[in-house]
Each structure stands twice: as C-alpha cells, then as structure tokens.
Structure 1
C-alpha cells in the first residue's frame, strides 16, 4: 500500500489473468485525464467520486458501479472534503473476449463490448464486482476466482451490447489516420507540423479533428498511449529506464512524472507490485 496525506492506494496484479485490482482513497485531485487499454469496472465505496467521461461530469456515490471501455478518457477528483474510496478491476481486453467466447454460444464476428452507460445502480452487478474484487485481490483459489469473474461478466452483459470492432466506433478518417500515425511513431520525437504534412493537412485542422474524435489533443494522446505501453512493459519486468528509452520519453524522470500524474504510482513501484522484482 502507498499513502500520502491525501490518498492511499492498495494495488495487486493477478499473474494468471493480468487483471489488476485496486482499492484507493483520494481527497481533492486524484487523476489527470488519461485512459486505459483495459475494460475498467468498479464501484464507489465511500464519498463522492467525480470524473469527466464522455464529455460529461459523472458523480458516483456509494451504490454506484462504473464501467469504462478501453480508450475512454477520464480524470478523477473528490468534490467533498472527506474524499472518496473505490474499488476497481482492470480487465485486459483479450482476456475479456476470451472469457465471453466461452460463456456464450454465439457472438458477433469481430465483436467489441460497448458500455451503454458509465454509471449503474444495479445491486446484482455491484455484488458481483465486490465478490470478484475480493477473489482476485486476496488471491483466492483459482476455481473461486473463475466462478466470481464469470458471474460478474454475466451480470455486466445486461449493461452492454455488442458492436462490430471498428465499425460503429469508427471516427472521421483524418482522426483515425492521425491516431495510426501516432501509434506507428510513438517512440519518436514527433512534430505536429511534420505529422500534418505526412497526412496531407495542416496542424490546426488536424488538432481540431483529433480532439473532437478522441477527447485529447494529439500530443496529450501520445503521452497517454505511451503510458499504457509503459504499464505493459513494466508488468513484463522491464526497468523504468529501459521503458523510458524504448517509448520516447526524454529520460526516466520524464516517464516518472507523467506516470505518477496518471496513476498515482511510480513506474518502479508499479513494476515491483506486478512482478515482485526490486525497485
């Protein structure tokens, strides 16, 4: 567990599934805008948990569950003095799709799980999240974890619908091409004018189209994309210095500053919690 005067974090990662479980408390500012490559599903335990997502201010209170898709930009803050406490599971996308393929006889080709509404008051869903969290976080027997997670996925499907991958979610072509460009050159020192020239437009049109589609300016998206890749590499055991060099951060300190702002953990602490390796 890590702690400060305003927050504490209890974090664990399941080696078998890659599922991350986190229980945390925050006062005041919690997180800068960021996104995850995983499905995020959790519930508010105490206080008012306020965050911006889908261009709306969401206020989650005890009795609320929240569900976020991979790539959904959100932040976090406590609007009340006592702060808020929550529990959350980060479910790897490939793991989710593999489990659903086993739970359901028929699934659409190239499906994605689409969250209908960010917040829910479904008591059965919250109960299934709570049971799954404890099973994963406390490293219960594998058969117990599997049973709890299966029940949670079944309950969650009542708040989701299937969509074809990259069909309904398709963004304007310029924004999609720009995101692909960022992914392909993520380890380079990319200039906005250079990027716009490569895409046959100017940087002002590019920035407007990208922010309208993804909720972040290109430079902010690039940092967040690098951070999601940093989590993956750190969980595999790479050192923060290696990760910083591989992903285009100026140095390890540069990676550390952004990582703490997004996740309230240092890269070394995250790596240690995922792998057991020393800092």
Structure 2
C-alpha cells in the first residue's frame, strides 16, 4: 500500500498472533498506542523518534526498537528524509509456547526488555531473517524454524533469565534426527511442519531441530530444500524444462528455484541442463 510519501507492506498469520510490516515513512505520525504482543522494529535507513517510558528515544539505522506487550509509545520521522523500517509483532501465546517447548519442562517466565532501543547484532539478524521469511515465499517449516530462533534469541537478550534449553542424549539425538529425516525423505513435496517432525521423532519441536542440526549440519528446512533440489536436478538431467522441473519439485516459482539451485550448485538450472546435452525449452 502506498499513500503519497509513505508505503507499507503487511503480512498476518491467519491462525496465531504473528504479524510483520515493512514501511517507508516520511510524514506519518503514530499516535500513542500499544500492542498486546512483543514488537520489534528494525530501522534500516533514516531514524525514528518516539516517546516511551516517559522519555524520548531515537532509533537510527542498525538499531532495534523493542516494545514489551502493552507498552505505550508513539513515533515519527526524526528528520525530513523519513525512515525505512521493518517490524515484527509476536504474540505472548506464541512466545510462551516456544519457550515451553524449548525448555526442560518448566514454565519459563516471559522475557521483559529493559530498554526500548537495542543495538544487538545477533538479535537484529535473527529478527531480520524472520521478517524476510514472513513477507517472502518461505515455507511454513522455514518460518517456524526462524520464529523459534528469533524468540529464543529474544529471551536470551531479555531482562529476565533465559530458559534452560532441552537437550537430548547421543542415542536419542541420532534417533530423533533420523526419524525426522525419514519424514522429509518420504514426502519431499509435502508442506511438512515442525510439529509433524516432532510427533514423528517423539520429542519437542526444538529438541528435534537441535538434533537435526547436530547430526546433519543443517536445519530440517535446509534438508527439505536439498531433497527437492536433487529431485529437480534429476529431472533436468532427463531433459525436463527448468520451469516444469521447478514446479514438479516443490518450488514456488522458477525464480525461487533458480536462486536456490545456483546457491547450492554454483550455476543456473539452464546451464546445468545444457551441460548434460539437453536444450532448454522453457
């Protein structure tokens, strides 16, 4: 949506309290308001001035605005050039569910942030990756993994004590990872969720995620994409046009397929197919 000097992109989960927005504001002024969720705004360019906790604050490029649930604040551009920022709203129930899943069975306290402006690179990167996945074409599995990472990073950097994370013993870890991989191998084109992998492995979502990374050096979503890329590569070798190979291998579109194929193998699908002696017909 664009209104004069201001433009906005918005995404909202249809089931749980999770939202993301990307905005370029020049003359927009937020009135005092609050959210019933955790809100994290990454300032990418320019600067935003806002009042929170009885004081004025400025979030410049590279900084993160952090608002606890029900924490009142306003906002406007700090200069005439305006500002560009990305914000994620994560509901308290989502945070509570992820922390409980990742902890050792206790019900951890929800984190509270002591400062409304943070300069934390690790948290900024985790939130940025989550935001890109939510507004992009990422799968549900990718979004779930990045959401878990962002929430746990948030908890570690919050004012309250971070939860004690659940770990599996060596044999349990291997078994959990293998069961999860079997699900991905058996249904490479299905939209598998983190909850389905957890149910198949018999452990929590986070425990399975950690076990998978420890055993195979990548997240379950990375492995799922690799299985799909291997399938697509076999189709290309058989002479199937790249566009059809992408659609038949679970990729959202050919551009998405081309990007990941090149990142994995160093060349485009078309070049790979020509090297096998097949002409590209798409």
Structure 2 length as normaliser, TM-score? 0.54
User: Tell me, which stretches of 5 or more residues in structure 2 are unaligned?
Assistant: 162-282
Could you say which residue in structure 2 is the equivalent of 1:117?
115
Residue by residue over 1:21-53, the C-alpha shift from the partner in whole angstroms, topping out at 9 and shown as x without a partner, is 100111134210011111101210110111111
Q: Quick check: 2:26–2:83 contact (8 Å CA) kept in 1?
A: yes
- Distance in 1 of aligned mates of 2:144 and 2:11: 17
Could you say which residue in structure 1 is the equivalent of 2:170?
none
- Distance in 2 of aligned mates of 1:157 and 1:112: 8
- Distance in 1 of aligned mates of 2:110 and 2:121: 25
- Distance in 1 of aligned mates of 2:97 and 2:105: 13
Could you say which residue in structure 2 is the equivalent of 1:50?
49
1:80 shift after superposition: 0.7
Could you say which residue in structure 2 is the equivalent of 1:28?
27
Could you say which residue in structure 2 is the equivalent of 1:154?
152
Structure 1 length as normaliser, TM-score? 0.54
- Distance in 1 of aligned mates of 2:57 and 2:154: 19
Matched, 1:136 2:134: yes
- Distance in 2 of aligned mates of 1:107 and 1:87: 33
- Distance in 2 of aligned mates of 1:123 and 1:136: 20
Could you say which residue in structure 1 is the equivalent of 2:252?
none
Q: Quick check: 1:28–1:79 contact (8 Å CA) kept in 2?
A: no
Instruction: Describe how 1:256-271 pairs up with structure 2 within 5 A.
Output: none
Higher relative CO (Cα under 8 Å, sequence separation at least 6) belongs to: 1
Could you say which residue in structure 1 is the equivalent of 2:185?
none
Q: Quick check: 1:3–1:9 contact (8 Å CA) kept in 2?
A: yes
1:113 shift after superposition: 2.2
- Distance in 1 of aligned mates of 2:118 and 2:159: 15
SS of the residue corresponding to residue 114 of structure 1 reads coil
Query: Which protein shows a greater Rg?
Result: 2
- Distance in 1 of aligned mates of 2:67 and 2:85: 14
1:159 shift after superposition: 2.2
User: Tell me, which stretches of 5 or more residues in structure 1 are unaligned?
Assistant: 164-279
Q: Quick check: 1:14–1:139 contact (8 Å CA) kept in 2?
A: no
Could you say which residue in structure 1 is the equivalent of 2:240?
none
* Alignment root-mean-square deviation, CA: 1.7
